Amino acid sequence: MDDHSLFRDSLSRLLQAEPDFLIVGTCASATEALPVLDREHPDIVLLDFDLGEEQGLQFLEESKKRGFRGRVLMVTAGMSDAATLRALEGGSSGIFLKHSPPAQLVEAIHKVSAGESWLDPRAMRSVIAGATGRSDEQRAAQALNARERAVLKRVFEGLTNKEIASQLQISEGSVKAVMQQLFDKTGVRTRSQLVRIALERRAEDWLTGEPGSH
């Protein structure tokens, strides 16, 4: 969904060339898109933040009210720190910036489709910049160890378990074990839920730090 017809048409042609993508509609506004959502039940919606007289956040709110179970990937030229946080907390599975290579967008769609999250590095900085302070007691209750912080940081970057293992120079089994620890600490069951709960708690120290020696 994008209010610029040239961008919509170009993006549609790009994605139609992918053998496992089926385009069910292109829209310029949330008002135009909601009936398509009800009729087609797409798996993924690509949503711009700035839709002229509307904002993509309006679509997120309305689609949630309608019980939309698919995923939403924001594809935008840029968003403020506050808007980035609101979009992710409102149900978006990620933020993709338009200046990025087309092949990276295809990768982002595949990852979001698989239940993972996608955060452009600039969006990641917005998340950290938007994090609010918490009391020492709150931080202690939610504290993660260095290894957990390092894995969570890379989950935010959209890396797979295999890629995380390679970067941290640990086994993929160790990454899976840490992911389970994160799930247990936060009470969630999926990567996208983990990202959202971290955003809701606004724990800046969750997003920084490197693993210590073991």
Are 106 and 18 contacting, i.e. CB atoms less than 8 angstroms apart? yes
Domain ranges, ordered by start, for the chain:
5-128, 134-207
The torsion angle over the Cα atoms of residues 27, 33, 36 and 40, rounded to 10 degrees, is 90
β-strands 94-97, 71-76 pairing: parallel
Question: How would you write 112-158 as a 3-class SS string?
Answer: HHCCCCEECHHHHHHHHHHCCCCCHHHHHHHCCCHHHHHHHHHHHCC
Say if residue 175's pLDDT is above 60: yes
Who has greater pLDDT, 197 or 177? 177
CA triplet 75, 196, 212: central angle to 5 degrees?
110
For the segment 52-81, the average pLDDT, to the nearest whole number, is: 83
| Amino acid present at 120 | D
pLDDT at 168: 92
Q: What three-state secondary structure class fits 87?
A: helix
pLDDT tens digits along 14-61: 888 888 898 988 888 878 888 888 888 899 999 888 776 667 888 888
Who has greater pLDDT, 87 or 44? 44
Sign of the Cα torsion 57, 154, 178, 43 reads: positive
pLDDT at 134: 41
Superfamily of domain 5-128: Response regulator (3.40.50.2300)
Are 168 and 61 contacting, i.e. CB atoms less than 8 angstroms apart? no
Q: Quickly tell me which residue has 């933040």 as its tokens.
A: 49
Q: What does CATH list as the number for 134-207?
A: 1.10.10.10
Report the percentage of the chain scoring pLDDT > 70: 78
For the segment 136-154, the average pLDDT, to the nearest whole number, is: 67
State the chain's mean pLDDT as an integer.
77
Cα separations in angstroms, 171 against 149, 165, 176, 188, 198? 17, 6, 9, 23, 24
pLDDT at 77: 82
For the segment 113-139, the average pLDDT, to the nearest whole number, is: 61
* C-alpha gyration radius of the chain: 18
Find residue 55's DSSP bridge partners: 50
pLDDT at 93: 86
For the segment 70-75, the average pLDDT, to the nearest whole number, is: 90
SS3 content of the chain, % helix, strand, coil (to 5): 55, 10, 35
Residue 131, token pair as written in the block? 């994090």
Longest dimension (CA), the chain: 55
Residue 68, token pair as written in the block? 């939309």
